[in-house]
Structure 1
């Protein structure tokens, strides 16, 4: 593992100084694909609710890599053998795990590209960078894809107690000011060990795990699934779909070169050539913001008003309940806006729609968090905990929402 000729450190508001461990990681950080993450918000439109939530995927990647360094140090100190090649591969895998995110993080994969997840695009970026860096990422890719023989390495990158989750909970809690999401990441890492090639937590760390799972559940309800944030993200998804539809009909919309390409073309996973990937790498939050600022002057009622809503935070009203909304209730809301503005049913559906949100803090079915007891046996944390609500946290809670215009629909522009 080649070290840097000169120590490179970055000052992080969460952890203090973060050291860039190797030349490969430094070169990856300097690459334009990674630098793009400075322009991708970590939490999408959450800053509409929490004004401080302007941190980026770049911040998060650095933080997750820092925690991975701590995890490697802890495991090595407990006699777990990790080679220098495996160590660097772990750093690279966690460093690049989110590199495939599009503008505003999750909205892109539900609108402009055809059902392509950010994990799939991250893998494409990693494979492209692997060719550029003389196959230096081959082992990192195997770990990322869970194709390496030592399974606990993948669990550190992607699992129910991985470095990704530990960082984003702590970081998002800090930047939103939601203290309920605070987790003691370094205490949890200090309790990690490996048993039978699987990641485990030493028994005395049970209360830290409980706090982590409860914090995750609270962060989902209070932050990630906050109803105002849900409205904003859904409006953005619909805005991009409308722009794509208008472009397909021959309407020339002002947009950046990269955004125009994805508006004009239906791109599925199989279409992601190196050229398409390079075009995707030019997209960030600023493409969307600048496009919306131009689209508020559009002659299309839907595009104009969706853009205005997002730019001015004049959003739709949202109602949330435990049961799905009746089709009749949705139809009444749509008919009202259709009558007022002479819209088609399809156009009205951009302003009146339903959906659901799901919160499951812990899964007992796959890749469980296991405690290592003093007698050497392992047990699922939900079964070992004296907190009866941990098993309840493993149950998925689904809520349904309906979004529709507020009473002041006369503020909409024809």
Structure 2
């Protein structure tokens, strides 16, 4: 069987699957599940075109990895075929641990279990199934492989993951300000002292990349309407979980029902093979089918929130610079009480939160620029644009959202 396949991608054109191992990974059910998980979750409530999946993104990241490795080889760096294949495998699988709606599911159904940790468990399980062919890929993913720059290409502030999701999310949302020149960025990468660096002539490209990331966060990932929709889905899941754990029988697929009723730790994933199967059975369809079914449930909180989200009757949301105090919350609480919502039901219809955004984490994970004299400088020091330093500052915005036109009066 010919396993060297070409995939037509709307962002890059043709993507090549260049080895049998990569083909087998793409064909595996763990990876095929990513077809059924949207990359941007609920973002299509704001940007109708944001319907691309994590399957698209993972293939795109693999493509950028192959291009970056070729560029580094052309600059004289020795990269073995097994290393190249392993790096592509690692970036291909880097999102396996994402559940439906990603962070929403994590925070409610699997608190304390990060998707990166689940990814690693799934990669190790795949490695067993493939007789150790992913040993090197797992080391690169974890950061234990001796040549550290491979891990930086998988997970850093200038990795193939970020390059693809910025370019792809910009493309599908139509937010052109987030578009980056990934081809040029890749050509500007180099290796110095076993770490990934950027050539000095790539300064402008990096600056554009950081600005694009900041804009995409405010315009897409942290858009207030999206935050409102996410808050509603979160409250729906909290309510479903509360009812389910109190013995209420809810409409849900068997795998989804399992996660509604129980709380699992990372150790459970490592010890229970069936739990991995159940997790792999979860995708966006489970959640949407359940939300549709819950619109006719007898619990007024669950049914009202589910119908509102399906019909895009979203909570009103307001941003502020400081945490909302009683001066703000008390009138909202009073209005909700007048609409028939009880004190016990109030947390489901009045939600507060905080968002943070900083485009460049200078202290934790610096981007190093290799100057013409060979000296390495942090991007913030190498750039003569003062806004780069400003991008390192954390911007915090607090918000409150509430069911403005909700009525639970019978």
TM-score range, shorter chain: over 0.9
Cα separation, 2, equivalents of 1:338 and 1:22: 62
Cα separation, 2, equivalents of 1:49 and 1:182: 18
> How many pairs align?
408
Cα separation, 2, equivalents of 1:185 and 1:324: 38
Q: Deviations over 1:361-382 (max 9, x none)?
A: 0011022111111111110111
- Specify every segment of 5 or more residues in structure 2 that has no aligned partner in the other structure, as ranges: none
Residues 236 and 302 in structure 2, CA contact (< 8 A), matched pair in contact too: yes
Residues 114 and 269 in structure 1, CA contact (< 8 A), matched pair in contact too: no
In the other structure, the counterpart of 1:367 is 365
In the other structure, the counterpart of 2:20 is 23
* Bigger Cα displacement from structure 2, 321-330 vs 70-79: 321-330
In the other structure, the counterpart of 1:321 is 320
1:4-83 superposed matches below 5 A:
5-83=2-80
Residues 170 and 185 in structure 1, CA contact (< 8 A), matched pair in contact too: yes
- 1:346 Cα deviation from its structure 2 partner: 3.4
Cα separation, 2, equivalents of 1:211 and 1:157: 20
- 1:329 Cα deviation from its structure 2 partner: 2.6
Residues 11 and 168 in structure 2, CA contact (< 8 A), matched pair in contact too: yes
Q: 2:81 aligns with which of 72, 79, 84?
A: 84
Cα separation, 2, equivalents of 1:237 and 1:93: 31
Change (3 A) 1:342 1:232: closer
Q: Deviations over 1:333-369 (max 9, x none)?
A: 22432343152x2311111011000001001102211
- 1:328 Cα deviation from its structure 2 partner: 4.4
In the other structure, the counterpart of 2:274 is 275
- 1:147 Cα deviation from its structure 2 partner: 1.0
In the other structure, the counterpart of 2:145 is 148
What TM-score, normalized by structure 2, do the two folds share? Answer: 0.97
Q: 1:238 aligns with which of 222, 232, 235?
A: 235
Change (3 A) 1:270 1:6: closer
Residues 37 and 100 in structure 2, CA contact (< 8 A), matched pair in contact too: yes
In the other structure, the counterpart of 1:225 is 222
Q: Deviations over 1:71-104 (max 9, x none)?
A: 0000011111111121111011100000111112
In the other structure, the counterpart of 1:389 is 387
What TM-score, normalized by structure 1, do the two folds share? Answer: 0.96
- Tell me the SS of whatever aligns to 1:140: helix
Q: Deviations over 1:172-226 (max 9, x none)?
A: 0000000000000010000000000110000000000000000000000000000
Cα separation, 1, equivalents of 2:326 and 2:108: 24
Residues 161 and 369 in structure 1, CA contact (< 8 A), matched pair in contact too: yes
- Tell me the SS of whatever aligns to 1:291: helix
Cα separation, 2, equivalents of 1:8 and 1:413: 59
Cα separation, 1, equivalents of 2:175 and 2:368: 28
- 1:332 Cα deviation from its structure 2 partner: 3.3
Cα separation, 2, equivalents of 1:151 and 1:278: 32
Cα separation, 2, equivalents of 1:409 and 1:231: 15
2:155 matches 1:158? yes
In the other structure, the counterpart of 2:340 is 341
- 1:6 Cα deviation from its structure 2 partner: 4.9
Q: Deviations over 1:106-152 (max 9, x none)?
A: 21101111321111111111011000010111111111111111111
In the other structure, the counterpart of 2:108 is 111
Give the root-mean-square deviation of aligned CA atoms. Answer: 1.2
In the other structure, the counterpart of 1:198 is 195
In the other structure, the counterpart of 1:350 is 348
- 1:266 Cα deviation from its structure 2 partner: 1.4
Cα separation, 2, equivalents of 1:99 and 1:37: 7
Cα separation, 2, equivalents of 1:342 and 1:111: 23
- Tell me the SS of whatever aligns to 1:42: coil
Change (3 A) 1:248 1:212: same
In the other structure, the counterpart of 1:398 is 396
- Tell me the SS of whatever aligns to 2:110: coil
Cα separation, 1, equivalents of 2:281 and 2:63: 27
In the other structure, the counterpart of 1:290 is 289
Cα separation, 2, equivalents of 1:327 and 1:84: 62
- Tell me the SS of whatever aligns to 1:44: coil
Cα separation, 2, equivalents of 1:19 and 1:284: 26
* Bigger Cα displacement from structure 2, 318-327 vs 170-179: 318-327
Cα separation, 2, equivalents of 1:342 and 1:182: 44
